[in-house]
Amino acid sequence: MNSRWPYYTPLIILGILAFYFAAGLGQNPAKVKSVLINKKVPEFLLPPIEGSLKGFSNSDLKNQVVLVNIFGSWCVSCRIEHPFLMQLKEKKSIPIYGIDWREPDSTAGPKWLEKFGNPYTLIGDDPNSLGAIAFGVTGAPETFIVDKNGIIRFKHLGPITKDNWDETFKPILEDLRKK
């Protein structure tokens, strides 16, 4: 091998990778651009969970800015998120609508809420993922911001924490409430 160029290859590859890393730093993989962003919430109608009378449908989402939160009693991250949702409820920050996703049986969700508290205005039972599919959910917990006109404005993957609430949610909500 008399040519010098093979000795430059590692440097060139490193350069290309460095470009991607630098570009990647500016983005957050948890902040997913959903195809549904800036579109109207698709139609769905979910039955109530056991022990409650009213379910949850897309017609409930109008005239106010709300959160739609996907959760399940089987989901560990949801339990981590849960105390923060309870705080939001106590502070009356924003109405939260819940989609109780893929429970192993009909009592699991209500039991869980009884034990840890219920932060939700309305809850739809979603054993067959109808609501989850409507929102294009990839996992739990997942949270959507829906504006006064029933349009999805933001999607968040993973638990809401105080940090990402202050950094991400608050500015978006303030912006939407002004409109």
Applying CB under 8 A, the residues found at the interface with another protein are 4, 7-8, 10-11, 14-15, 17-18, 20-30, 32-33, 76, 79-80, 82-83, 105, 107, 111
Which C-beta is closer to another protein: that of 17 or that of 133? 17
Check whether the bond before 6 is cis (ω within 30° of 0). Answer: no
Least separation in angstroms between residue 168's CB and another protein is: 14
H-helix or E-strand spanning residue 85: helix 76-90
Which C-beta is closer to another protein: that of 86 or that of 172? 86
Least separation in angstroms between residue 43's CB and another protein is: 25
SS3 content of the chain, % helix, strand, coil (to 5): 40, 20, 40
Which C-beta is closer to another protein: that of 111 or that of 153? 111
CB distance 94 to 148 below 8 Å: no
Q: Enter the tokens of residue 77.
A: 């991250």
